[in-house]
C-alpha cells in the first residue's frame, strides 16, 4: 500500500515539473518584433501613399493576398491589381512588394521568425531581385 502512495506522489511531482514551463508562462506573450522599413517604404508611409492595402489588412492577410495574386497571374493571366484607392499595381512579389520591402532580414524574416512560420515564397523568388 505504501508503494501506491509513493508512485502517486512521484507521478504528481513529474506532472508538475513537466507542465511548469506552461504554467509559469501562462498569460504572457512575447512582444511583436519592431519592423525596420526600407527607405522607399518609409517615404511611402510618410507621404500618406502607404501600401497596396491598409496596414492592418496587410499584416493580417498578406499571405492570402499573395496566394490570390499568384493564382490570378498563373491561372488567369491577370497581372494588374486595382487597389481600394483605384491605383493599379503589378501583381508581383519581386517587383511590387520588394520594391518597398527590400530588406528581407529586417522586414519579412522578423515577423516570420516571431510567428514560427517558414513561407515558401523564397523557393522561387529571390529576396533582392534588383541587387540593391
DSSP secondary structure string for all residues of 95-106: IIIHHH---TTT
Per-residue pLDDT tens over the stretch 62-106: 889 999 999 999 999 999 999 878 889 999 888 888 888 888 888
Confidence of residue 1 (pLDDT cuts 50, 70, 90): low
Query: Mean pLDDT highest for which of 12-16, 37-41, 67-71?
Result: 12-16
Contacts 24+ apart (CB under 8 A), 61-66: 63/119, 66/93, 66/97, 66/121
Cell triple for residue 71? 493564382
Q: What is the rounded distance in angstroms from the CA atom of residue 110 to the CA atom of residue 12?
A: 39
CA dihedral over 14, 18, 19, 23, signed as positive or negative: positive
Q: 87 in helix, strand or coil?
A: coil
Provide the residue ranges of all domains of the chain, joining segments of one domain with +.
36-123
- Of the listed ranges 4-18, 75-89, 96-110, 115-129, the one predicted with least confidence: 115-129
Taking the complete model, does pTM exceed 0.75, yes or no? no
Q: What is the rounded distance in angstroms from the CA atom of residue 52 to the CA atom of residue 64?
A: 14
Q: What is the rounded distance in angstroms from the CA atom of residue 28 to the CA atom of residue 94?
A: 37
Output the pLDDT for position 26. Answer: 82
Q: What is the rounded distance in angstroms from the CA atom of residue 14 to the CA atom of residue 5?
A: 14
Query: How many helices and strands (H and E) does the chain possess?
Result: 5, 2
Of the chain, the percentage scoring pLDDT greater than 70 comes to: 94
Output the pLDDT for position 129. Answer: 55
| Backbone phi and psi for residue 92, each to the nearest 5 degrees, phi listed first | -150, 120
Query: Mean pLDDT highest for which of 3-12, 36-45, 103-112?
Result: 3-12
Mean pLDDT of the chain: 85
Query: Mean pLDDT highest for which of 8-12, 51-55, 124-128?
Result: 8-12
Amino acid at each position: 500500500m505504501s508503494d501506491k502512495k509513493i508512485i502517486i506522489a512521484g507521478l504528481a511531482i513529474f506532472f508538475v515539473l513537466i507542465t511548469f514551463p506552461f504554467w509559469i508562462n501562462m498569460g504572457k506573450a512575447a512582444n511583436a518584433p519592431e519592423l525596420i522599413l526600407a527607405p522607399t517604404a518609409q517615404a511611402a508611409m510618410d507621404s500618406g501613399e502607404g501600401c497596396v492595402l491598409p496596414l492592418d489588412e496587410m499584416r493580417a492577410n498578406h499571405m492570402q493576398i499573395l496566394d490570390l495574386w499568384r493564382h490570378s497571374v498563373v491561372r488567369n493571366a491577370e497581372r494588374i491589381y486595382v487597389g481600394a484607392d483605384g491605383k493599379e499595381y503589378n501583381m508581383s512579389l519581386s517587383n511590387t512588394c520588394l520594391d518597398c520591402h527590400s530588406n528581407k532580414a529586417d522586414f519579412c524574416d522578423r515577423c516570420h521568425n516571431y510567428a514560427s512560420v517558414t513561407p515558401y515564397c523564397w523557393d522561387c523568388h529571390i529576396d533582392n531581385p534588383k541587387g540593391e
